A and B are shown apart, each in its own frame.
Chain A
């Protein structure tokens, strides 16, 4: 606000041009500020609807580690061996996580404390994702300005502020790596593109640090370390090699790699893992290219150079291939991991790694979710690509490549829509901004044709265009109509995004809400009821066995030791739990005794109709258990390939531990009026085994809506 007013006072005779420029600056800054606030505010639905709390599963682990970090300091955190999870193995937490998120939140917390704001670390954690989402809008603005113009930058900032694909992972309370990582990802890309555009070492250095932050925050950094070499390769192939590119890539790669090695979880992967080899190959290729360039300059003879090129290229390729081959064969370079394979081949996980396939967010994306998460951007995206190709530059090539690759990955895995969202927003912003700009120039040249003196930036272009288009009839009206249409679409987008955010993405999933008979909101707070019960009323060293989904929550909220959790690093251990759940009670008892289990926790939705319960997940337990222990066979639990729990169910199904624990005494309960007792409201059938007797376990606690049931494992009987 201040600058124009202050300027106008002392120097009223300043030139008009400066004044409009300042007005433009004011407009831009205030628009950006509004977008910043909007991006933050739109993510607060969950806080207003529910409360300031951590959502979902993984964020609870992040919250727990952040709490540990703020209480015990960094070196304790870095060397933390957590004996509360993966009993009896434990977990080296400091070496198996990306510390970026926790360190960020802890620093923010310390900063606020230093400003004597007495906030709790939980509030900082809850608001970290919205804060970084707001920062992302600024980066998107800068990025948009870099690849197109400041108008596109503003539109990109506005689009990304509310794009549902990004909001889904960055609402308040969704304290996950992605919340920070998307900011870091976009920042790294922006700084790199800027470095390529300017050839400045400073920007390349900045992008190396951006990359370091990204590596410290999320495993998705692999995308950067593969996309940037690919981009460099494309530039090389298309003959766009330049000194600027050389400086930018070398500095970014070498420094970025060295910095990334400081993260314990990543370690020497940059020189040892197959996923990072492309970057190294391109690095060497770039050196060869530079060398050849220099030789060509020295030789100054086309024929001689051609033969030299042939020799060098064959040498280099052989040496490279040999090195790669030897490295892989000797085991120095690790092969690609399953997760990486499953990205390239969507069917891979289903056949080889059931534990990845069992996670819903790793499923291939449905068309509807593209529509849901991108809305009009899905149509603007191709248009933006058209504009990019029309004005091809180093920067637009980058954004096109980013857009296309990330769109492919988004198609492979639902959760990667998140990575595609910024690219889609940027490209769509180019389309929207360019279209609207063209339309408005059309309207303005028409109406202002007599007075085109004020040297507009696009003045000459527009005038020329106007002159060409003069012949078209109804051009002015058509432009206005199109403009209105564009605004209508954009406003629909805004409405859609707000609706999606408030309806679909703002539920903490730890507290379930439903509509009661009288239309009022009914809250099912069973998870916290159970976890708090565990926390208060079980011995502090009790070991809880549950399916791995609830591991993080039990350790964070229940403060008790778990056998397996969401960090699925040991497949055998998970398979053991899966085996226990799918065995008969006496067999399961032996497994539980060997794991020192004191309590077993199951999630059961049959009373309330909560469908993501353990009975619905049970087949995955069987599959994962059967993958390691062949005694568990999936067909034993199915009847003619059909999964049933009623009277016609397989006998093994009706008597396995999971079935018994979920349906213990359920047969005596009437869940729905007019239905027999023991009617499961999720599966919509009456259960097949109503007379369940437990021999080795006893019911310890069941929450008020039966969603969580906890059983105590009885101590072994005395020998008689």
Chain B
């Protein structure tokens, strides 16, 4: 991971130079909100596949881009998003296919928000995909882009009763929003079931079962946008963790204690009127189709001392299944969550130290953990990861593969005198794709491990000494007869 960062730095520096140049060129073009491709790039063919089966919108883009023979070398390709999309954008990944046929390999590319064209409020926001090797004039390459949008499904009707199923709107464009000229483009929208209430027709539009195909469209001008609206049934539980605080406490006596505080909301739509337990119990499949009963938490193997509770006590409905590869905790909130209902709870577990804390080559130690939320299929609006290092550790340095807000604080626990250094990482809009390892490096002298036991030993010793002294002393002023 360290290497990765080192590579990134000069790359971004290199682009910085070109960017400042470009800014001058583009500044005039912004006012008309259509951005001329500054280099000769155009999209030869584009395929956009939108996956609407879950609560998170996943979009797969396959772009075949070509650099005009007359233009200069291109070191990056721009992607455009609408401002609302940017707000809900949780992750963007791009890969580039390199090599021919059997030797074909996908090389991950780094992406950074581009400062271009952000002055106009409605203008598309641009992201630059930084190419590992510049695209020579006349060359073509294929980019695979994946991005995810959270909170992009709007329920309609906004309130449903217990037995109704949940219908949502999804808005997008039939054609690819791109700063480049698009020669040929097609959009597929995949829905979870055949129940599609309506969809906007932008000919040619075809529907096959649960899939709607828009296109093929030819020769689209840059920044063209054809709004479409899809209204369909989505009964997948929309669990949204509004806030998650993961606290990782490291003890060099052999344990890592993780405490996760969840603030969960059954999102988007509101529950209307009556909740009838009778209907919920007698017809579970019909009634409360969009409510959810249980959640699955994927924990590391060899997990121990798992608990599941909230502010008023243990919640007795949970099951833990462990095997050598993974542990799964199935939890059930105290009550079934219907639209707009909240629920908060805490999960805690211990992990063996040797599975997660290692010593690096330079003598420092580091903890290697997964960043995101262990709950499957959920969106975390606001994630805070706190790594509480043992007392006496120095120079903490977190290494996270994406941008997070970082700061240090001090926390106190049992028998702490100077307090423990705590690394706090914050990130918004976290989805399952963020469940990647991250590291925190720190320096720790094992002698500090003995501080607390020695304190206890001396306290007990003092107690005994005081007792012995008391028995051997005569404190009475007057001798009793």
A residues lining the B interface (CB < 8 Å) = 2-3, 6, 50-51, 53, 116-118, 511, 523, 525, 528-529, 531-533, 535-537, 557, 665, 668-669, 698-704, 706
Contact = CB atoms under 8 A, between A and B. Distances in A.
A532 B334 contact: yes
Contact of A118 (B310, B343, B414): B414
A41 B212 CA distance: 68
Contacts, number: 77
B273 A118 contact: no
B275 A3 contact: no
Contact of B313 (A51, A702, A703): A51
B342 A537 contact: yes
Given A116-B412, A698-B273, A700-B274, 4 more contacts: A533-B341, A536-B342, A536-B343, A537-B340
Interface string B166-198: 000000000000000000000000000000000
Given A53-B313, A525-B316, A706 B334 contact: no
Contacts of B413: 118
A117 B415 contact: yes
Nearest to A526: B334
B268 to A, nearest CB: 16
Nearest to B265: A536
Interface in B293-330: 310-317
A3 B464 CA distance: 10
Interface string B412-439: 1111110000000000000000000000
Given A118-B414, A557-B312, A536 B274 contact: no
A242 to B, nearest CB: 22
B276 A532 contact: no
A665 B278 contact: yes
B312 A529 contact: no
Given A2-B464, A532-B334, A700 B315 contact: no
B415 A2 contact: no
Contact of B335 (A6, A557, A703): A703
A703 B277 contact: yes
Contacts of B334: 525, 528-529, 532-533
A532 to B, nearest CB: 5
A116 B341 CA distance: 38
A529 B414 contact: no
Interface in B444-479: 464, 467-468, 471
Contact of B414 (A3, A53, A117, A525): A117
B277 A532 contact: no
B310 A2 contact: no
B423 to A, nearest CB: 19
B335 A528 contact: no
A532 B274 CA distance: 18
Contacts of A523: 316
B251 interface: no
B312 A698 contact: no
Interface in B341-366: 341-344
Interface residues of B, number: 32
A532 B335 contact: yes
Majority SS at the chain A contact face: mixed
Contacts of A532: 310, 312, 334-335, 343
A426 to B, nearest CB: 27
A3 B468 contact: yes
16 contacts: A2-B464, A2-B468, A3-B468, A51-B313, A511-B313, A511-B316, A528-B312, A531-B312, A532-B310, A536-B344, A665-B276, A698-B273, A699-B277, A701-B275, A702-B276, A702-B277
- 10 nearest interchain CB pairs? A702-B277, A536-B342, A529-B334, A557-B312, A51-B314, A523-B316, A53-B313, A3-B471, A118-B413, A665-B278
B155 to A, nearest CB: 18
A525 B468 contact: no
Given A118-B412, A537-B342, A706 B277 contact: yes
B416 A116 contact: yes
A704 B315 contact: no
A699 B275 contact: yes
A3 B342 CA distance: 61
Contacts of A117: 414-415
A703 B275 CA distance: 10
Contacts of B415: 116-117
B233 to A, nearest CB: 25
A698 B278 CA distance: 14
Contacts of B342: 536-537
B20 to A, nearest CB: 52
Contacts of A700: 274-275
A511 to B, nearest CB: 8
A620 to B, nearest CB: 27
B278 A669 contact: yes
A648 B329 CA distance: 51
A511 B314 CA distance: 10
A365 B340 CA distance: 50
Contacts of B335: 529, 532-533, 701, 703-704
Nearest to A537: B341
Contacts of B276: 665, 699, 702
